[in-house]
Structure 1
Amino acid sequence: MKGGFESDLIYFSPTSRLLYQLLIYPIVSIGFFANLGVLVRLFLIPGKTCLKPFYRASLVSLALSDLLLLGTTGPNLLATLSSSTVLWRLQEWACIVLPFLQTVAVLVASLILAGVAIDRFSAFKRKISIARGPGWTPTIVYVLLVWSVAAGAAYPVLDLYKPQSLQIINNSTIYRGVLCMNDRERAKTAYIGLFIVIFLPLTIVFLAVHILLAVSINQKKSPGETSRSETNFSSENSTASTDVERRKPGIPKIRAPLPAHVQRKRRTIRVILLLILVFVVCRLPQWAFLLFKTISIMRGWIWWHLQVMLSTLSLFNAAIHPFLYAFLNEALSIVNWIRLICSRKRESVDIEITESRIKERSSSGEPNIPRRP
């Protein structure tokens, strides 16, 4: 059994540990309840919803993978930050299982996001209605295939990490501690293979498809847009002289409001650019750091801080997915759902009040005088 000094295992100050915990706890809590909200909202949608089976199944798989990532990475980070040393605080079997589950969650989310991007682009190009698409049978087969591929690809990770016991020396006392260590050479082979074979192609597909989708939406012209622009151009040319004559100095020109289809187009492009930005900022640095960590030997407190910050970004990515892919959809909007429930309750209350008034009038013998239209 190896040994070491306790001072060599202290990389976080009490202030930094407190700040990290204050940041991670809200992210994990919001992400947990938001992804649960997606699952509840999906199963409470009526059967006549416009959401096609492929998109609903993709949202369910994405929410489950994000819950899996939040439930594995979150407790691991918080347990590490709960003490001054970086010893393994969870159960020893968790050292073997958690990296596997984290890898499965990341791979499932990446596969689902790439599939959703391709589905959106193909639907836009073929001008298919959002209610049409693959049925439940091919959708279920696709979801099972995604989870099977992710589990199979992450299977080598099960044999990479092992708990290692060591004697910790603190002044005159000695106690037993556990570190979660990996086989560096095998970890290098496994993670480089996962990055080259799965994650890098999925990243290229995700970015390329979203960029093509944004460009196609920007270049698309709505029906009648060409004729309107030509009419506006001719009218502007014909009235240019009169506008100059009538315009007074010092009075700013009032811009006409943008048409609804132009506003909708710009809003869609902004959402697509936001999806790309979140993916690039929250996903790519984590994988780049993981590869760098397996290739080179890192020592010092700065690498531990960088690992915690990148893991926090990964948790933030899992927490923000429900808002980007589910709650921005009108059919899944919680605000619209609450508004609909309130309007239904208000209508039922109005009906009950009207019925009670009619009953009171009939019981009191007061004649009902019809109102004029």
Structure 2
Amino acid sequence: MRGTRIRSVTPHVLMADLPEPFAYSQAWYRRRGAMLVEIQTEDGLIGWGEAFGPPELTAPICSWLAPLLLGQDALAREALWQAAYNRLRDHGQRGLVIEAISALDIALWDIAGQALGLPVHRLLGGPLRTEVQAYATGFYRRERRDHLRYLTEEAEARVDEGFGILKLKTGWGLAEDIALTRDFRHAIGPKIGLLVDCNHAYDAPTAIAFGRAVADCDIGWFEEPVPPEDLDGYLEVKRGQPIPVAGGEASFTRWGFAEMITRRTVHILQPDVAACGGISELKKIADMAAAFGMRVNPHVWGTGVALAASLHLLAVIPDNPPGLFPNPPLLELDRSPHPVRDALLQVPIGFTGGVVRVPDGPGLGIAVDRAALARFAA
């Protein structure tokens, strides 16, 4: 198919100031951005991908890898993934290189679906489901002292939008985190699901102390309790406290997840499609996890491009365990401020009652607004 040969690979670095800064346990955000990659074929098909990570750093890696793709068949996704990975495997088995490859891979899947007139989830063998329950991510630290008040106000807004599960950011110090988590649970009541995420702010003893102290707060999972490199620490936290442990957003490729899976370092794996190697790689990771009976709930924290790619994967990730009363994977839906995300798609991916439908158009099933690309170009 000569028409599917790749004509151009164009990274787009987008950036916007935030109206109000916010923080997680590792850093403050005063701006938010995105790195999208646009791949065009000889017959005019355009695929969009997105990288998780600093846009100014992933964009030049995409540009560096572009010559490996130019003139090649866009439908040869596996061959192109291997070519890109092997070219830099001596220097980039994780981190920025894999995030850049993720963007390229997502764009190639978008092209394949358009070329065949099918949504990506059909190419992946699905769908098992056409809609996914979402939980609301947000609840970051602001430059205010009345933390419980503004977090409670945010919770009320999310519940009004239809969300039944909220994820609270922690990592502000053990005593403060315990008090905040307990107070937040009391404020939202017992019927709303609660997850906690400390973004690897603890060591294992601190994480265990936190988990034990809030064990009666009915927490669905305890996310990234220790740094991603500390797999033994993850195992200690699993053994030492009762809340299910989640992690994996800062892990990369099937090789990076293999040890997490075989050692069962977490209960719930959280690969990010825009970081772990793209749609191709996350599907492999999810299949490996299924063989070990591990739940997979992808991490999602980007624009509508990453969100759409995640939804297509969520359409095909199996229930774990399968049965008449399934426990399907959840969608992480970022509700924190992001001007680029909110303006990027011509038709945003919506949600009703905390439920998001999987796009059913060809490819990713989205259309990027070029006026937004120009408006936020960095």
TM-score interval, normalised by the smaller of the two chains: under 0.3
Higher helix proportion: 1
Tell me which protein shows more strand as a share of its residues.
2
User: How high is the TM-score relative to the length of structure 2?
Assistant: 0.28
